[in-house]
Amino acid sequence: MRRISFLLIISLLFSAIAFAGGSGTLNLLPFNEPPTKGAIEPKSPPVLEESRQFWIWDLSVMPPTDTQITAICKGIGSHAYIFVEDGRWGTDVTQTDVDAVLLAWDQQTPSGSYDSSKGIYDIETQIFGPAPDVDGDPPIYLLYYEFGEYGSSSFDGFFRIQDEYPGEHSNQTELLHLNTKNYHPSNPYMLGVAAHEFNHMIHMMIHPDNDLWIQESLAEAAMVTCGYFTDTAWMNAYANNPGVSLYGNTHSVNYGACFLFGAYFYEQAGPQGCWDLVHATTVGTPSVEEALVGNSDFTSFPQFMGDWSVANYLDEPDNPDGPYGYDLIDVPDMKIKQTYEDPLPLEITGVMTGGGVEYRKVMLEGGHSTVEIELLGDMDSVILHAVFLGTEPAPVYELSDSQQIDLQEESNALVLSAAAFGEGDSYSYTASLSYQDAEDDDAVDDDSGAVDDDMADDDSAAYDDDSANDDDDQTPTGDDDDSGGKSGCGC
């Protein structure tokens, strides 16, 4: 059965949430009242086998309704209490699961994490910020129960900011809601979900106003810092449609884009950069720039996004021309928007969504020493790089105005990597390419070598490679451990 998973983000600012399904994003469903600020009475720590009532959402209906379940304390750690819904013990959750969750939360994370001798709690509170403590009892409640499903959509976990404020349906403590239906709690995927949700808990109490895509990128980065590289299905889907906006909208994001952006930010800006982004004094792209300056070699957000787009295509972390790759993850091949096989000169025009990237491949002839690339028109919100293929490492050039670039003998193609860093709906760019030794009277027209699939015949020398669905809600499918991403979720 096709399964589409989501995490829910509920913030102080939103009273509505977008849910996506197999055919796209459903209507916004207002169901949540902003929490009322006030004092919470201190709680007594639980004891093993103690039974407590918890407020949850019934997710089988939209908008969700508040209901209660009974859960039993099955694990107590230094930084966590594990409660399991009555009736799930011994089947969906076992003592082996509880032991593994407590080990990961308190003591040990997989190889590849920031520090495998530390647990999720210590890594995240060191890198991103302190955990909240609203009830005078610091450990986090991890509540495992079977979620309801709405149509074909299922949900892996969520964090409710309401649980940390007084209210009739608030649990009035720090609590993560985690699903037991699709995976055991000890499954690496669900440990990654717990890390993701914990990051939202930290972030929402420090800087709840920042853009959703930044919050999600940091939550994805938290999974990486804790060694859970489990959102590869979303990364693969994004690689097949990189033109989708990184920024998403106020209610949903593309988790593949956020996974790569968060991982790249963590690798480039380090733990201090992550801390500074959570605690930024600005919002949106300025907050990313604020965190980059002083923690990396980047001086602006456009520069960072441009290099990120090249890194996604090239993935050569040791490239001498720049940080054009990842040390911690292997990136799949990015979809080429269009390939041009006609000889130069030619003119290429691209139209992009803000927050999107695209790649156009130009085949090169032998026997030429230099290629000239001229950028035409307004380029204020798009940054372009030329990546020359045929040698390793690949030479990379950031483009501006008009440049003449010497070709290596092995160069057989170049890829124009374009990143639209503006936050509007549509941006365009035009690049003119020619060999330096081309005849002066060679004509350049708008159609040279650039033919879309739906206009090309069998003899066309250029073709549109972008067979991917451009729908922003494209989601991965499958039943393996990587298939259940956080599609359209938020928390």
Q: Which two tokens stand for residue 440?
A: 């002066």
Question: Which residue in 218, 237, 474, 222 sits closest to 332, CA to CA?
Answer: 237
**Residue 269 falls within a domain, yes or no?**
yes
Q: How many domains, the chain?
A: 2
Strands 402-406 and 370-376: what pairing?
A: antiparallel
* 348 plus 441 within the same structural domain: yes
Whether 316 maps to a domain, the answer reads no
pLDDT at 377: 81
Does residue 177 share a domain with residue 46? yes
* Residues linked to residue 347 through DSSP beta bridges, in sequence order: 432
Domain end, chosen from 278, 302, 320, is at 278
Is the same domain home to 228 and 157?
yes
Side by side, the strands of the sheet bearing 80-85 are 4-10, 153-160, 175-179, 140-145, 80-85, 65-76, 51-58
Same domain (yes/no): 269, 383:
no
Q: Are the C-beta atoms of residues 359 and 313 closer than 8 Å to each other?
A: yes
Quick one: pLDDT at residue 119? 98
Q: Which CATH number is 421's domain given?
A: 2.60.120.380
Task: Provide the pairing of β-strand 175-179 with 153-160.
Answer: antiparallel
Q: Which of 278, 299, 315 is the last residue of a domain?
A: 278
Residue 304 lies in a domain: no
| 161 and 29 in a common domain | yes
Q: What is the pTM of this model?
A: 0.85
Backbone phi and psi for residue 226, each to the nearest 5 degrees, phi listed first: -90, 0
For residue 110, say if its preceding peptide bond is cis, omega within 30 degrees of 0. no
196 and 48 within one domain? yes
Do both 207 and 119 map to the same domain? yes
Q: Which two tokens stand for residue 446?
A: 């708008």
Amino acid at 246: L
Residue 483's nearest CA partner among 3, 65, 38 is 3
Average pLDDT of adjacent 10-residue blocks, the chain of 491 residues? 37 30 28 60 94 96 94 98 97 98 98 97 98 96 96 89 94 97 97 98 95 97 98 96 94 94 98 98 98 97 98 97 97 98 96 97 95 91 97 96 94 97 94 78 43 38 44 41 37 51
Task: Judge contact between 424 and 355, C-beta under 8 A.
Answer: no
* Angle (CA) 156 159 12, round 5°: 140
Residue type, 378: D
The answer as to whether 373 is a domain residue is yes
Q: Residue 4 forms beta bridges with which residues?
A: 153
State the pairing for strand pair 140-145/175-179: parallel
pLDDT at 35: 60
CB of 265 closer than 8 Å to CB of 277:
yes
DSSP string, 86-124: TT-BTTTB-HHHHHHHHHHHHT---TTSS-TTS-HHHHH
**Cα 106 from chain centre:** 25
CA distance to 54, 137, 148, 301, per residue, from 72 (Å) = 10, 18, 20, 47
Helix axes 212-225, 188-206, angle to 10 degrees: 130
Q: Identify whether residues 70 and 155 lie together within a single domain.
A: yes
Is residue 474 domain-resident?
no
Task: Tell how strand 396-398 and strand 462-464 pair up.
Answer: unpaired
Residue 485: inside a domain: no
Residue 115 lies in a domain: yes
**199 and 56 in one domain?**
yes
Q: For residues 256 and 56, give the distance between their C-alpha atoms in angstroms, rounded to a whole number.
A: 28
* pLDDT attached to residue 26: 30
Residue tagged 């990189």 (tokens): 242
Last residue of a domain, one of 245, 278, 311: 278
* Domain of residue 444, residue span: 338-464
Q: What is the CATH number of the domain that holds 44?
A: 1.10.390
Contact predicate 305/384, CB 8 Å: no
Segment (H or E) for 269: helix 255-278
